[in-house]
Structure 1
Amino acid sequence: MAKQSTSDNPYTRGMAAFVSGLTYDKIPEEVRHRNKLLMLDALGCALYGADLEWSRILQDTLERVDATRTCSVWGTKKKLSAPHAALVNGTQVQGFELDDVHRAGVLHVGAVVLPALISVTEMKPGMSGKEFLTSAVAGYEIGPRVGLCMGPSHIASGWHSGATLGVFSAAAGAARGLKLDTDKTVHALGIAGTQAAGLMAAQFGAMVKRMHAGRSSQSGLYGALFAEAGFTGILNVLESEYGGFCTTMSQSTDKFNLKELTAGLGEVWQTMGIALKFYACVGTNHTTLDALRDMRNERPFTHNDVKKVVVHGSEVTVHHVGWPYEPQGLTSAQLNMPYCIAAWLIENDCFVDQFTEAMVADPQRIALSKKVEVIHDPAITALGAKLRHKVHVELHLNDGTVMKRTIEAARGSEKHFASDAEIIEKFEKLASKALPKARVAELCDAVMGIEKLPDATVLSKLLAA
């Protein structure tokens, strides 16, 4: 890579131009509809997350130190300043491993885009529903592209990609919501990018893993607000050879592909590559759980019949979820494949009810998790980021039967996307934990008919308890 000046930023500027120039009419109808479903899912996850312990700690702590009461904390009666509301609401979306994921880009997108953008609507009322949807799409498009640029080695190196990449999605959505021009959007991305942070060691039981998305959304919001005021950022935040995002995060000059940042921009829509979760655990585990589901549908068996389960997966799968299970709290259990397999084998599900403090320390589940082996398959790793969740699963039963399944994409993924009815059902189930039934229905109608809203601030009002 040649040494670059601060003005050499074709990719950062190309993305900024896309964001600032995006209009409702430029977005295909199928992308608009998909984005509404994705937003509905993220908001349902946030409402479920509102009363979780880690969310309550943030809510209460920030309420004590922040006297501003501008923006809603979703699913509660509380209000905070815009940046702190983004921090809490993003944490709530990611609060129980239920939210969306762009598998190839390795990013939970709604958790970083919507908290920042909805805060913008509350700070500056008057944004129409069409403008809100356009801004959301801008955010949903940008972060995954940075993930595609960085490739699977980014998370394999120990960076929590949802936190590091998310700042760009958050900044893009907020910048479009504020109607920043291309120059100021470049600065918004440059301010956000230098705040990127997040370590994968957080997956081993730490509450802070939940906060990564919220912090990322907050950083993106700061980027857009500061840029609007004339504050400047790194112009070539993605391209810079020394100290740029790509070179620094990869510790290389060749382990990333800048062309992915703008390839097909405005023609290939990354929104359509975002998957939804129907298991309450990290997305990397879903293909394996689907494989076991298919096997049990073919031939019924109980957990007592299982001798061992062998999962062959990518290097990312092994490092991300394949470690031997030890009870270290809910976060650790949700990010651990052996535990999730054990839970599914016992209960035939792996949703919210399978993750309690008692269950994750259950000796029966721990013993069953020891029967799971997660093995690196170099051939799967060689397929690249888009197939990083592919698995070959072998189920060995005590009677000598060996069942095998290969799954490339999980249920709810971009290749097997869920129906509108399935997504709405999931939303209603989650949202009803924080809101009355009538409000849940009203919020659903508002999101699915968002183009009709004269002022998108109605969303924050409906999200408040």
Structure 2
Amino acid sequence: MTPPPSHASSRRPSAAMEETRTLARFVAETLFQALPPAVVETVRLCILDDFASGFAGAPHPWMDAVASLHESASGPCSRFGRAGTASASAAALFNGVAVGGFETDHPYSPGSCHPGGAVFPAVLAAGEAAHIDGRAFFAAVALGYEALCRIGAAATRAVEEERGFHGPAVNAAFGGAFGAGRALGLDADMLTHAAGIAGSHGGGLPEFTDEGALTKRLHVGRGSQLGLESALLAQRGVTGPSTVLEGRYGFLNVYSPAPRPDLVVAGLGEEWLLTGVSFKAYPCHMSFHPVIAAIDRFRQGSGVDPAAIEAVTIRGTHRMTSDRFAIQQPATLLGAQISLPWATALALSLDPAAAASWSDRSLHDERVNALARRVQVVREQTSTPGIAAEVVLTVAGERITLEASDWKGAPSDPYSFDDMAAKLRRYASGVVPDEQAERLIAGVANIEAITDVAVLGTLIRGAA
């Protein structure tokens, strides 16, 4: 039924409502050589970190379940740690869950998004299938990242903190659509349609927190898959609304109680939001990193037996001390990775930078669990500027105070390429041969010279 003219008119975009089309033109038309040096440096680190995170996430039992969904979906695309290839859609899902599912990938926190798990797998799958070169791959990753960061920033953190959605799940399909669409060579009109289609695929609830349910591990990877499929559908002539971001019933207005559509295009091409991603050092929630780093330094330098620690009190910011992160005795490994008390106990007991420390064995280690029960979290801003949290340890009646401010990957202690390569080696160990990991690192370092990005894809494959 056609709505009354007055109603139809009220839904029609104004002349100023061009955010979706403007962003699509930017993604379609920006050349690799136009990327500023700081963007190139950041994106190279991001790509290396994406590969590292994929290796970290690949060897876990839930990945078998994801792989089994598409056992008959043959195609040319590689998957982390798997010998066989798969269709582009199946690979985007598998690799997206691998990259984004084990809490090692980098977020863009102001936009509540995880571009690594959303953009990179979709671009890699599209790029392998289309045999694009390294520059085209790099540009697609960079522009997909920037599009997603801007959409997340425009939606604001209110999507998650007020409306109650899981932000990275809700916006991931946009990143996959813009990144894969660019890799496929879609023009601005087709990219607009790809975004329009992706807008109907946003979803994700944070109800997983209480039980530590595995759905969280799927969120961003599913968005990457749906984003890739949105681009493929647009390539085949399926249309989507050209005002999917800014329209009255568009993404920003429906999902956010405080949208800022102007941020989609503000400073576009001059200010690159992607340079604000935060790199992780530990497989746990980003907001915990200052605390875990301070405790890790203490553990390495003090020689204190964790069993001798009588109590731990953490005073920190609103985000890290949220009730959903304060569960002392998580039931699952996912729950442990998003539990500040348990992550604190682990960091006092084991090397938190090692992926192997975050395991079911540690989850059931009574020494870690007993210590986690002695960790109290207090929502209280520290009095010292630049300090994210204060950690007070009580050992033999003595109070030891640690100031938590930075971590490896923080702006004050950024990753170099060599640092990120070391992270990749650590996570790739046991998944692929060392020589294969070295070739991958060299490939990312010289990605501009690669004539077919499928060469990189083959280097993530396992032997079985």
Give the alignment's TM-score, normalised by structure 1: 0.90
Matched, 1:60 2:68: yes
Query: 3-state DSSP class of the match of 2:341?
Result: helix
In 2, Cα distance between equivalents of 1:101 and 1:86: 19
Conserved? CA contact 1:50–1:56, under 8 Å = no
**Residue 40 of structure 2: aligned partner:** 32
For 2:313, give the aligned amino acid.
Answer: V
1:105 Cα deviation (Å)? 2.1
For 2:325, give the aligned amino acid.
Answer: G
Query: 3-state DSSP class of the match of 1:15?
Result: helix
Specify whether residues 67 and 96 from structure 1 end up closer, same or farther in structure 2 by C-alpha distance, changes over 3 A only: closer
Q: Which moved more, 1:315-324 or 1:213-222?
A: 315-324
Matched, 1:246 2:252: yes
Specify whether residues 170 and 443 from structure 1 end up closer, same or farther in structure 2 by C-alpha distance, changes over 3 A only: same
Give the alignment of 1:450-461 within 5 angstroms: 450-461=447-458
1:197 Cα deviation (Å)? 0.9
Conserved? CA contact 1:55–1:95, under 8 Å = no
Matched, 1:329 2:329: no
Conserved? CA contact 2:330–2:339, under 8 Å = no
Matched, 1:112 2:115: no
**Residue 213 of structure 1: aligned partner:** 220
Matched, 1:43 2:46: no
In 1, Cα distance between equivalents of 2:272 and 2:412: 14
Give the alignment of 1:312-351 within 5 angstroms: 312-319=315-322, 322-351=325-354
Conserved? CA contact 1:6–1:235, under 8 Å = no
Give the alignment of 1:160-199 within 5 angstroms: 160-199=166-205
**Residue 426 of structure 2: aligned partner:** 429
Query: 3-state DSSP class of the match of 1:75?
Result: coil
For 1:36, give the aligned amino acid.
Answer: R
For 2:142, give the aligned amino acid.
Answer: V
1:35 Cα deviation (Å)? 1.0
For 2:216, give the aligned amino acid.
Answer: K
Cα distance per residue 1:49-90 (max 9 Å; x no partner): 222101111112320xx3433322222112222111101110
In 2, Cα distance between equivalents of 1:401 and 1:104: 35
Conserved? CA contact 1:291–1:405, under 8 Å = yes
Matched, 1:13 2:21: yes
Q: Which of 101, 113, 119 pairs up with 2:107?
A: 101
Structure 2 unaligned residues grouped into runs of 5+: 1-8
> What is the alpha-carbon root mean square deviation over aligned residues?
2.5
Matched, 1:442 2:446: no
For 2:328, give the aligned amino acid.
Answer: Y
Give the alignment of 1:254-293 within 5 angstroms: 255-293=258-296
In 2, Cα distance between equivalents of 1:104 and 1:313: 18
In 2, Cα distance between equivalents of 1:337 and 1:68: 41
Give the alignment's TM-score, normalised by structure 2: 0.90
Give the alignment of 1:405-420 within 5 angstroms: 405-407=403-405, 409-420=406-417
1:152 Cα deviation (Å)? 2.6
In 2, Cα distance between equivalents of 1:147 and 1:279: 24
Conserved? CA contact 2:355–2:427, under 8 Å = no
Give the alignment of 1:77-92 within 5 angstroms: 77-92=83-98
Query: 3-state DSSP class of the match of 1:401?
Result: strand
In 2, Cα distance between equivalents of 1:181 and 1:79: 29
**Residue 4 of structure 2: aligned partner:** none
1:209 Cα deviation (Å)? 1.4
Specify whether residues 73 and 298 from structure 1 end up closer, same or farther in structure 2 by C-alpha distance, changes over 3 A only: closer
Conserved? CA contact 1:75–1:464, under 8 Å = yes
In 2, Cα distance between equivalents of 1:193 and 1:313: 35
Give the alignment of 1:301-380 within 5 angstroms: 301-319=304-322, 322-377=325-380
Structure 1 unaligned residues grouped into runs of 5+: none
Matched, 1:401 2:399: yes
For 1:440, give the aligned amino acid.
Answer: A
1:22 Cα deviation (Å)? 1.2
Q: Which of 130, 137, 146 pairs up with 2:142?
A: 137
Identity %: 29
For 1:119, give the aligned amino acid.
Answer: A
In 2, Cα distance between equivalents of 1:378 and 1:246: 31
Conserved? CA contact 1:108–1:162, under 8 Å = yes
Conserved? CA contact 1:343–1:350, under 8 Å = no
Conserved? CA contact 1:105–1:147, under 8 Å = yes
For 1:325, give the aligned amino acid.
Answer: Q
**Residue 391 of structure 1: aligned partner:** 389
In 2, Cα distance between equivalents of 1:249 and 1:163: 12
1:294 Cα deviation (Å)? 4.9
1:228 Cα deviation (Å)? 1.6
In 2, Cα distance between equivalents of 1:47 and 1:363: 28
For 1:150, give the aligned amino acid.
Answer: A
Q: Which of 215, 222, 227 pairs up with 2:229?
A: 222
Specify whether residues 111 and 359 from structure 1 end up closer, same or farther in structure 2 by C-alpha distance, changes over 3 A only: same
Q: Which moved more, 1:317-326 or 1:335-344?
A: 317-326
In 1, Cα distance between equivalents of 2:371 and 2:104: 24
Conserved? CA contact 1:24–1:134, under 8 Å = yes
Conserved? CA contact 1:289–1:341, under 8 Å = yes
The aligned length equals: 450
1:305 Cα deviation (Å)? 4.2
Specify whether residues 429 and 229 from structure 1 end up closer, same or farther in structure 2 by C-alpha distance, changes over 3 A only: same
Query: 3-state DSSP class of the match of 1:373?
Result: strand
For 2:56, give the aligned amino acid.
Answer: Y
Specify whether residues 119 and 111 from structure 1 end up closer, same or farther in structure 2 by C-alpha distance, changes over 3 A only: same
For 1:43, give the aligned amino acid.
Answer: F
Specify whether residues 379 and 405 from structure 1 end up closer, same or farther in structure 2 by C-alpha distance, changes over 3 A only: closer
1:431 Cα deviation (Å)? 1.7
Conserved? CA contact 2:307–2:371, under 8 Å = no
Specify whether residues 49 and 298 from structure 1 end up closer, same or farther in structure 2 by C-alpha distance, changes over 3 A only: closer
